[in-house]
């Protein structure tokens, strides 16, 4: 994709490379490790792991939106002549807020554990180390929380590739520890502790070692806080807190709601496994937009409107092509993959998979709109749209989950995503950003329809020509599908064709 300036291209490509590694590790965590866990655990123990993982992930939204708010503050400083001095003063003051927030949540966590048993609340009393593993996961998430300020600075200064690479290295080591832990101990705690260590070690390295090497002007000096200044930070961050909860929290909250409303423990496993792949696709798209969004945020801060329009138009088309191709492949071969993935121990629900995967693909254009809104300080817009999304999910969830189980959760998630994030947030962002938003949207959805329908039809044809089962059959299907799709997409490698297509895109 051609953008304005080789340095911008290098930053975006570097960010994509690091994010690709991170997402492959996320796929390993959520998909490839599951068959190994099932070799040593029962489905109930796996459901307990999913519950603990969901609770820890839910704490990612516990920073009260300060990470994204700080990122916008750092971006805003870039247009000032005394950028480094302002950045140092803000970092020195804001880090104290992050630490205090972590301490507050830690105190609340101790109070909760003193009064209730998580194992009893979630129905896992048969798991002997559930409470200890749950506490370790939550504690680790809180200790990582202050590093969000440092990662915001990395992203604002164009070093998002580096910080993601450091985090990915820690995740890889943590996953090796999980493999050793489940084989040697066979316990929940033996898996949770390496997972937490893989998150905590990179955070400590970034904050205490690498930060000052990359940004020497951050001298670590403490800056005095006033109550008014502190309150202003929380007020500015509040819309992003709502956004975080809607994006991170709702997916994992659905796991807890199913656990609370559905007596069948297997439903948690079935939902989480299916949601894992749909969520992975969404996260892959989101990570793909982050380097683009950082450049868009820079253009927004400096008033480079034409550069912004050009990059947004091209980035959204590339995102839709990517999401549509992955969705078509998943829809074509999901059944065979699911059976292999779970060793046939978890029931397959085709309707659940279709709802989640198609819903995620349809809402893909809104992911870039969301990322750009985060990097351009659209707090008010994010506040009311994401609040509406949360209300819609909870309303649909409380009505549908007790009746339909995991399918009800899928309908609630997809409905809130499509109606609010795509229908409202995406529409407002492209109307403010592009000169021809309607033409642009029509091209996006036409592209999506052609790619998804063509990919699924091809996959179904291949499945009818290659009957059978097992890993060799699945691998043969995928190889043949890729062998046919690759020549179709090969012309896009031509620079002349890409330039002609880019010229055709409305801005």
The domain boundary, picked from 202, 225, 248, lies at 225
Residues 193 and 287 in one domain: no
Q: What is the residue-averaged pLDDT of the chain?
A: 83
Please report, for residues 36, 336, 343, 458, 485, the alpha-carbon distance to residue 472 in angstroms, rounded to integers and kept in the order given: 19, 11, 15, 19, 20
Unique residue bearing structure tokens 């060793």:
343
Residue 457 lies in a domain: yes
Residue 94 domain flag: yes
Q: Work out the burial of residue 234: count CB atoms within 10 Å of its CB; fewer than 13 is exposed, 13-18 middle, 19 or more buried.
A: middle
Of 165, 199, 225, the residue that ends a domain is 225
pLDDT, position 271: 77
Among candidate residues 257, 179, 188, 182, the one with its CA nearest the CA of residue 49: 188
| Banded model confidence at residue 184, pLDDT cuts 50, 70, 90 | very high
What local confidence, expressed as pLDDT, does residue 33 receive?
85
Question: What is the phi/psi pair of residue 280, to 5°?
Answer: -65, -40
Cβ(411)–Cβ(355) below 8 Å:
yes
- 231 part of a folded domain: no
Helix 66-77 with 227-244: angle, nearest 10 deg: 110
Work out the burial of residue 282: count CB atoms within 10 Å of its CB; fewer than 13 is exposed, 13-18 middle, 19 or more buried: buried
Range of the domain at 278: 237-507
For residue 178, give every residue at least 6 positions away whose Cβ sits within 8 Å of its Cβ, in sequence order, or none. 33, 191, 194, 195
Residues 166 and 284 in one domain: no
Q: Is residue 232, in this structure, part of any structural domain at all? A: no
Q: Are 179 and 286 in a shared domain?
A: no
Helices (H) and strands (E) in the chain, counts: 23, 0
329 within a domain of the structure (yes/no): yes
pLDDT digits (tens, 9 = 90+) for 253-265: 777 777 777 766 6
Cβ–Cβ contacts within 10 Å for residue 399, how many? Answer: 13
Q: How far apart are CA 480 and CA 472, in angstroms?
A: 12
Q: Which residue has the higher pLDDT, 343 or 371?
A: 371
pLDDT reported for residue 289: 85
**pLDDT for 90-126, tens place per residue?**
998 999 999 999 999 888 888 888 788 888 887 788 8
The 3-state DSSP class for residue 1 equals: coil
Q: Are residues 213 and 286 in the same domain?
A: no
Residues 46 and 91 in one domain: yes
Asked whether residue 296 falls in the same domain as residue 185, the answer is no
User: Are 126 and 172 contained in the same domain?
Assistant: yes
Pair 249, 59: CB distance under 8 Å: no
Residue 193 pLDDT exceeds 60: yes
Q: Check: pTM over 0.85? Answer yes or no.
A: no
For residue 157, being part of any structural domain is answered with: yes
* pLDDT above 90: percentage of residues in the chain: 16
C-beta of residue 56 within 8 angstroms of C-beta of residue 136: no
Residue 19 has pLDDT above 80, yes or no: no
Do residue 180 and residue 125 come from a single domain? yes
Given a cut of 80, is residue 216 above it in pLDDT?
yes
The contacts of residue 429 (CB under 8 Å, 6+ apart) are 369, 372, 373, 378, 381
The Cα 320–Cα 339 span in angstroms is 28
Rounded distance, CA 74 to CA 229, Å? 16
Whether residue 381 sits in one domain with residue 337: yes
- Judge if 169 and 92 occupy the same domain: yes
Q: State which of 225, 256, 271 marks the end of a domain.
A: 225
- pLDDT of 394-419, one tens digit each? 898 888 888 888 888 889 889 988 99
Q: What is the DSSP letter of 32?
A: I
Q: Are residues 9 and 44 both part of a single domain?
A: yes
Q: What is the mean pLDDT of residues 323-351?
A: 80
491 located within any domain: yes
Residue 249 shares a structural domain with residue 317: yes
**Does residue 77 fall inside a structural domain?**
yes
Q: Please say if the pLDDT value at position 3 is more than 50.
A: no
What's the domain count of the chain? 2
């Amino acid at each position: 994709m051609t953008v304005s300036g080789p340095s911008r291209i290098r930053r975006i490509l570097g960010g994509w490379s690091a994010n690709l590694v991170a997402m492959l590790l996320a796929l390993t965590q959520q998909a490839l490790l599951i068959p190994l866990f099932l070799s040593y655990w029962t489905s109930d123990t796996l459901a307990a792991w999913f519950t603990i993982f969901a609770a820890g992930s839910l704490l990612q939204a516990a920073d009260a939106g300060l990470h994204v708010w700080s990122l916008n503050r750092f971006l805003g400083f870039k247009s000032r002549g005394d950028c480094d001095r302002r950045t140092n003063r803000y970092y020195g003051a804001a880090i104290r807020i992050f630490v205090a927030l972590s301490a507050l949540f830690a105190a609340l966590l101790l109070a909760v554990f003193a009064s209730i048993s998580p194992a009893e609340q979630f129905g896992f009393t048969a798991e002997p180390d559930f409470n200890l593993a749950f506490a370790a996961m939550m504690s680790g998430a809180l200790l990582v929380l202050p590093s969000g300020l440092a990662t915001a600075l990395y992203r604002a200064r164009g070093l998002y590739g580096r910080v993601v690479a450091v985090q990915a290295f820690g995740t890889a080591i943590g996953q090796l520890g999980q493999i050793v832990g489940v084989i040697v101990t066979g316990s929940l705690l033996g898996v949770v502790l390496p997972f937490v260590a893989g998150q905590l070690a990179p955070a400590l390295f970034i904050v205490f070692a690498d930060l000052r090497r990359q940004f020497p002007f951050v001298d670590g000096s403490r800056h005095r806080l006033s109550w008014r200044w502190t309150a202003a930070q929380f007020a500015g961050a509040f819309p992003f807190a709502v956004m975080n909860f809607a994006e991170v929290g709702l997916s994992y909250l659905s796991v807890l709601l199913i656990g609370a409303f559905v007596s069948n423990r297997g439903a948690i496993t079935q939902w989480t496994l299916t949601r894992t792949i749909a969520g992975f696709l969404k996260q892959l798209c989101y990570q793909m937009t982050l380097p683009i969004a950082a450049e868009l945020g820079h253009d927004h801060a400096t008033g480079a409107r034409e550069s912004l329009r050009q990059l947004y138009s091209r980035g959204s088309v590339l995102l839709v092509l990517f999401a549509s191709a992955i969705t078509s492949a998943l829809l074509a071969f999901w059944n065979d993959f699911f059976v292999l993935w779970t060793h046939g121990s978890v029931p397959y629900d085709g309707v659940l998979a279709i709802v989640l995967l198609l819903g995620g693909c349809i809402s893909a254009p809104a992911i870039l709109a969301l990322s750009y809104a985060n990097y351009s300080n659209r707090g008010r817009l994010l506040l009311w749209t994401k609040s509406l999304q949360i209300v819609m999910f909870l309303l649909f969830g409380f009505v549908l989950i007790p009746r339909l189980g995991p399918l009800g959760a899928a309908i609630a998630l997809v409905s809130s995503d499509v109606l609010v994030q795509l229908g409202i947030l995406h529409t407002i962002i492209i109307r403010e950003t592009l000169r021809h938003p309607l033409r642009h949207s029509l091209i996006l959805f036409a592209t999506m329809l052609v790619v998804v329908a063509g990919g699924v039809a091809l996959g179904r044809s291949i499945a009818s020509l290659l009957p059978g089962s097992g890993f060799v059959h699945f691998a043969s299907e995928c190889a043949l599908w890729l062998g046919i799709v690759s020549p179709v997409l090969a012309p896009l490698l031509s620079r002349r064709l890409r330039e002609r297509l880019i010229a055709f895109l409305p801005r």
